[in-house]
């Protein structure tokens, strides 16, 4: 185990336009959400969750995802993805301009029932036709596995269970598996245990990403643990927006500013303009009526006030 060398690249998946906004009380119109994506792209973020084709009855803030994509138009320089929970959502996504879709499930039965209204086995069955059709259409599919470090309903989740479900998603055709610490209970020891489990199954770190929540202040420590194990793909949310509506108290996605600062100060390459990103987060915060929770955003803002 060792930290990456200076100059290595880290890929950041910006989740604020979907995972960030889905847990906010303020429902924003598609035009504002599209402008958010444009501004994030302008500061160097090229991989982003653009929205989710879920029933707006369950996630009202994601209503109008098709309109967001229409407003954006073709974006050949961006890798935009949308969540597709079922066949209906996938069909809607196929009518859009994105080149990537995402399937998502939980590592615990209870959270999966709350989040998708079905068992984990039923989720996998739902994904079969999505993966098959995506391969035929040339669409990339990213897999998301939630509550890998702990469930709000069941408590601890066995590493063996996370590995079994994650390996299945990769075997089905997901090009990358995003491991979500949905309620922010994970520690570096747990991250190392997960990496050990996947390595024992022959799954390389290059196939894995970490989606960390900072609910208890451990997200950046877990990033470092992931970097030590070879993970180079991380999900984060501009300004620290969002969380999971089906995980009580789980607000607090890892802020993209905090992740970018850590990586850049370690000599890693992100391709992101940190100060420009802070400005985008402030712009979105204005629409939501609250300040970003990012510690780095707060530090940049305080420094500007003293100049």
Catalogue the active-site residues: 244
Q: Taking a C-beta distance cutoff of 8 angstroms, is the pair 242, 21 a contact?
A: yes
**CA gap 240, 215 in Å, rounded:** 10
Buried b / exposed e across 263-273, counting CB within 10 Å, b at 16+? beebebebebe
CA distance 213 to 237: 10
**Token reading at 175:** 């090009």
CA distances from 83 to 106, 205, 239, 259, 284 (A): 14, 23, 21, 23, 22
- DSSP, collapsed to helix, strand or coil, labels residue 77 as coil
Long-range residue pairs from 200-206, CB within 8 A, at least 24 positions apart, any chain? 200/163, 201/163, 201/167, 203/163, 203/166, 203/167, 203/170, 204/230, 205/229, 205/230, 205/231, 205/232, 206/230, 206/232
What is the distance of C-alpha 175 from the center of its chain? 15
123: Cα within 13 Å, side-chain hemisphere: 29
How many whole angstroms separate alpha carbon 112 and alpha carbon 193?
22
- For residues 24 and 241, the answer to whether their CB atoms sit within 8 Å is yes
């Amino acid at each position: 185990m060792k930290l990456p060398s200076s100059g290595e690249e880290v890929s950041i998946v910006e989740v604020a336009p979907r995972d960030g906004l889905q847990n906010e009380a303020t429902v924003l119109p598609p035009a504002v959400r599209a402008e958010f994506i444009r501004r994030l792209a302008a500061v160097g973020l090229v991989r982003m969750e653009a929205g989710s084709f879920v029933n707006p009855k369950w996630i009202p803030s994601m209503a109008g995802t098709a309109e967001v994509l229409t407003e954006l138009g073709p974006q050949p320089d961006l890798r935009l993805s949308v969540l597709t929970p079922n066949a209906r959502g996938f069909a809607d996504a196929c009518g859009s301009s994105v080149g990537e879709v995402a399937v998502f499930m939980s590592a615990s039965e209870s959270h999966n029932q709350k989040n998708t209204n079905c068992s984990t086995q039923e989720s996998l069955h739902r994904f079969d036709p999505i993966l098959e059709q995506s391969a035929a259409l040339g669409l990339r599919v990213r897999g998301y596995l939630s509550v890998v470090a702990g469930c709000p309903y069941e408590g601890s989740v066995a590493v063996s269970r996370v590995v079994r479900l994650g390996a299945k998603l990769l075997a089905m055709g997901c090009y990358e598996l995003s491991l979500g610490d949905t309620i922010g209970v994970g520690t570096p020891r747990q991250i190392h245990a997960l990496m050990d489990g996947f390595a024992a199954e022959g799954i390389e770190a290059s196939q894995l990403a970490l989606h960390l929540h900072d609910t208890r202040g451990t997200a950046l420590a877990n990033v470092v643990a992931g970097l030590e194990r070879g993970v180079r793909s991380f999900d984060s949310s501009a300004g620290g927006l969002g969380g999971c509506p089906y995980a009580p108290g789980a607000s607090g996605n890892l802020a993209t500013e905090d992740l970018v600062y850590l990586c850049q100060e370690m000599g890693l390459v992100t391709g992101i303009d940190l100060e420009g990103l802070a400005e985008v987060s402030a712009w979105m915060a204005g629409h939501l009526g609250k300040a970003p929770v990012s510690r780095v955003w707060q530090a940049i803002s305080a420094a500007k006030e003293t100049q």
